[in-house]
Structure 1
Amino acid sequence: MAPSRFPYARFLAALVLGTLGGWLFYSAGTPLPWMLGPMTVCTVAALLSAPIAAPSVVRPPMSAVIGVLLGAAFTPDVLGRLGEWLVAVVGLAAFVAVSGLVVVVYFRKVAKFDPVTAYFSGMPGGLVEMVIVGEAKGGDGRTIALIHSARILLVVMTLPFVIQWVEGVSLGARPAAGPSMFDAPLSAEAWILVCGLAGAFLGHVLRLPAKVLLGPMLVSAGVHVTGVSDFHPPVEIVSAAQVVLGVTIGARFLGTPPREILRILALSVGSTVILLALTVAFASVVGRIMGIGTVPLILAYSPGGLAEMSLVAIAVQTEVAFVAAHHIIRIVLVMAGAAPVFALLNRKPRP
């Protein structure tokens, strides 16, 4: 977007609203306040057609910051335990297949979407990729985009409370990970910049999914695993990144008629209930097989965004590397499998 066309005033209004929402949620003691608050307030603002904006160009730098934060969770100890995650990964593959099938049927039978739109709306991940492929196959790209945006919105907004209910404990507003920028050395900011830029370049060269997030995460992980540095991004920078991410999620509904937003949200409530029920069920079964708690598995399987679910993992103080690794695998499974499976299902028999 050209600088002359950037909606500075409306973006500033969105940031002010988002920060206010974050402060209100923080004051109320909710989990992940600096993302849930902006998401909620900006979604309401979109419904009211308020003069706000959050162009997509503002998200990549914040995603890079979150990627650097997630990479800091990878340690030599984590790498040594990768073999222990095999059962969880198999369970994840089964979850993706079952949840995709059930939600596609839901959108076909209940929402009455056409077959192509229902299929690519029901895939548990890959918003951008599902919109591109779905449109290419003849689906309604706008509906697919709105459904996936609503899925992320509703999963992120409800999952902390689902965990609270499953565990029977009050999560509250946990303190964010990392030191204050007033206490952290200047080298921490330098490392964020280096890992962010190098990671974005690496993600572009390797053509990674969610490259601006995964690239910096891989570089940051390499820095921490090799012991080059043990830096952590300052909490104020991470909180600011969460505010911007929350604002961009809520603002995705801008320009859509309120009636259509409410319709999509209503349909997505049903699909979200299905997805979360399957998430808890699969996490419970796999957790018993592995002999571990259900919370890490719920977060690892939940079909929210990689950045968003990893931030929830930080908020509830569970193993971030485990959660992030499984979401990367989920994204790869959906991206690699959705289009070929669709082609297989729609293959015409030879005469």
Structure 2
Amino acid sequence: MNWPSWQTLRSIALTVALGAAGGLVFTAMGLPAAGMSGAMVAVAAAALGRLPVSLPDPLRDALFVVLGLSMGAGVTPEVVERVSDWPWTMAALLVVVALVTGATFIFLRYAVRWDSEAAYFGAIPGALSFVMALAAERQVDLARIAASQSTRLLILIVVLPLFITSTASHPPHGLERDVLPTLLQMAILFALCIGASFVAVRVGVPGGWMTGAFFMSSALNASGVIPVALPEFVLIPCYIGLGCFIGSRFSSTSLTVFLRIIKASMGAVAVGLCVSTMIALVVSTVLGLPFGQLLLAYAPGGLEVMTLLAFMMDLDPAFVAAHQLVRYIGMVLLLPFATRFFLGSR
């Protein structure tokens, strides 16, 4: 076994320290997803300043396993049971994902002149950590992917939530706390998810470290065998670690190139939001559902954040959670095959 050098350890320590500091600053500012977005900004700034920031692949893979496990918490029996209640809006969700991806890909590929792989991964709406896992395996230009995906994420989970909550005329509702598994259940949960990740990687499933853990934890949570919920002292470091990983991808990017990427990414976000908004308006008019509820359900944001916004706006949180869940599961199921179909194997 080759132990990391002192230089590597110092680089990891610097990266984690910067990420933690960025997360603390964003938390103090009251921003949503503060751990991940704060760490991403801090480490990206350091990378652009040519500081030695990096995270080794084994640590990255461990983060993907824990994040995949944690995402299974959204697959509750209640949400799964209610998915069949909204067939027409679910069908529209498929149209949203397809049109947003296609329109954004065309913009990035032909208007901005990105290469096919960067445009493809940059166009995928949401599922940031899973998209990064797939892109990392194919050794794509992760700086472009991170900029495109993170700009979208930043707008949706920082700017949009702040705007909606600041204009809400009613107090927010409190979210129910998840039931944490016992220590024995936690040990079994981690053992099964790690095993599933190893199997997924061994058989060549793209993004296997995250995909295997996600499907194992989803099955356990949806069936009620083991409640899937991790305490914040486990999740927050993982979110910071993911932000560090994304931010460190900018090490090979100059400030000029970075600004150019951000400009292109802002255009891609505008294209995607226009498509989502138009479809939400049409579905709202035809079915008589609240426009805001549909927009939250179709927005390529995180399940937890979009559901929280539904609570704050007195909209149906189960509706939003179910649509976000179906979108994510569908992407996890189809993206590996779609990636091979459109980009070929590597």
Displacement of 1:299 after TM fit?
A: 5.6
Question: Which position in structure 1 is the counterpart of 2:33?
Answer: 32
Question: Which position in structure 2 is the counterpart of 1:242?
Answer: 239
Structure 2 residue runs without a partner (length 5+)? 126-130, 312-316
Give the distance between the partners of 1:96 and 1:26, measured in 2 at CA: 31
Q: Deviations over 1:83-131 (max 9, x none)?
A: 23543443233223322333233234532446x4675366426456568
Displacement of 1:326 after TM fit?
A: 0.8
Question: Which position in structure 2 is the counterpart of 1:120?
Answer: 120
Question: Which position in structure 2 is the counterpart of 1:91?
Answer: 92
Displacement of 1:333 after TM fit?
A: 4.5
Give the distance between the partners of 1:198 and 1:191, measured in 2 at CA: 10
Question: What secondary structure, in the 3-state scheme, does the structure 2 residue paired with 1:72 have?
Answer: helix
Displacement of 1:233 after TM fit?
A: 1.2
Question: Which position in structure 2 is the counterpart of 1:348?
Answer: none
Question: Which position in structure 1 is the counterpart of 2:160?
Answer: 162
Give the distance between the partners of 1:103 and 1:253, measured in 2 at CA: 22
Give the distance between the partners of 1:131 and 1:238, measured in 2 at CA: 22
Q: Deviations over 1:215-251 (max 9, x none)?
A: 2222222223333233521110011111101111111
User: For residues 131 and 25 of structure 1, do their structure 2 counterparts lie closer, same or farther at Cα, with a shift above 3 Å needed?
Assistant: closer
Displacement of 1:323 after TM fit?
A: 1.9
Displacement of 1:18 after TM fit?
A: 0.8
**8 Å Cα contact 2:133/2:207 also seen in 1:** no
**8 Å Cα contact 1:155/1:302 also seen in 2:** no
Question: Which position in structure 1 is the counterpart of 2:273?
Answer: 276
Matched, 1:46 2:47: yes
Give the distance between the partners of 2:80 and 2:199, measured in 1 at CA: 21
Which stretch of structure 1 is more off in the superposition, 313-322 or 254-263? Answer: 313-322
Displacement of 1:300 after TM fit?
A: 5.5
1:120 corresponds to which letter in structure 2?
A: Y
Displacement of 1:258 after TM fit?
A: 2.4
Matched, 1:223 2:220: yes
1:51 corresponds to which letter in structure 2?
A: P
Q: Deviations over 1:118-174 (max 9, x none)?
A: 7536642645656888x9xxxxx53xx4332212211221102224435634999x9
Give the distance between the partners of 1:202 and 1:177, measured in 2 at CA: 32
2:163 corresponds to which letter in structure 1?
A: W
Give the distance between the partners of 1:293 and 1:250, measured in 2 at CA: 37
**8 Å Cα contact 2:41/2:247 also seen in 1:** yes
Which stretch of structure 1 is more off in the superposition, 290-299 or 66-75? Answer: 290-299
2:271 corresponds to which letter in structure 1?
A: I
Give the distance between the partners of 2:299 and 2:332, measured in 1 at CA: 12
1:162 corresponds to which letter in structure 2?
A: L
User: For residues 72 and 124 of structure 1, do their structure 2 counterparts lie closer, same or farther at Cα, with a shift above 3 Å needed?
Assistant: closer
Give the distance between the partners of 2:101 and 2:62, measured in 1 at CA: 31
Give the distance between the partners of 1:310 and 1:131, measured in 2 at CA: 23
Question: Which position in structure 1 is the counterpart of 2:58?
Answer: 57
Give the distance between the partners of 1:231 and 1:332, measured in 2 at CA: 20
Matched, 1:199 2:196: yes
Structure 1 residue runs without a partner (length 5+)? 136-140, 344-351
Question: Which position in structure 1 is the counterpart of 2:326?
Answer: 325
Question: Which position in structure 2 is the counterpart of 1:346?
Answer: none
Percent identical pairs in the alignment equals 22
2:160 corresponds to which letter in structure 1?
A: V
Question: Which position in structure 1 is the counterpart of 2:314?
Answer: none
Question: Which position in structure 2 is the counterpart of 1:78?
Answer: 79
Question: What secondary structure, in the 3-state scheme, does the structure 1 residue paired with 2:250 have?
Answer: coil
State TM-score, norm by structure 1. 0.76
1:54 corresponds to which letter in structure 2?
A: L
Matched, 1:261 2:262: no
Give the distance between the partners of 1:232 and 1:340, measured in 2 at CA: 35
Matched, 1:19 2:14: no
User: For residues 233 and 341 of structure 1, do their structure 2 counterparts lie closer, same or farther at Cα, with a shift above 3 Å needed?
Assistant: closer
Which stretch of structure 1 is more off in the superposition, 66-75 or 242-251? Answer: 66-75
Question: What secondary structure, in the 3-state scheme, does the structure 1 residue paired with 2:4 have?
Answer: helix
User: For residues 187 and 129 of structure 1, do their structure 2 counterparts lie closer, same or farther at Cα, with a shift above 3 Å needed?
Assistant: closer
Q: How many residues align?
A: 326
Question: What secondary structure, in the 3-state scheme, does the structure 2 residue paired with 1:35 have?
Answer: helix
Give the distance between the partners of 1:210 and 1:152, measured in 2 at CA: 17
1:167-178 to 2 correspondences below 5 Å? 168-169=167-168
Question: Which position in structure 2 is the counterpart of 1:212?
Answer: 209
Q: Deviations over 1:186-215 (max 9, x none)?
A: 335424422431331353366544322232
Which stretch of structure 1 is more off in the superposition, 29-38 or 120-129? Answer: 120-129
1:211 corresponds to which letter in structure 2?
A: G
User: For residues 214 and 331 of structure 1, do their structure 2 counterparts lie closer, same or farther at Cα, with a shift above 3 Å needed?
Assistant: closer
User: For residues 328 and 229 of structure 1, do their structure 2 counterparts lie closer, same or farther at Cα, with a shift above 3 Å needed?
Assistant: closer
Displacement of 1:278 after TM fit?
A: 2.4
Which stretch of structure 1 is more off in the superposition, 17-26 or 83-92? Answer: 83-92
Please report the RMSD computed on the Cα atoms of aligned residues, expressed in angstroms: 3.7
Question: Which position in structure 2 is the counterpart of 1:349?
Answer: none
Question: What secondary structure, in the 3-state scheme, does the structure 2 residue paired with 1:51 have?
Answer: coil
Displacement of 1:325 after TM fit?
A: 3.0
Give the distance between the partners of 1:16 and 1:179, measured in 2 at CA: 31
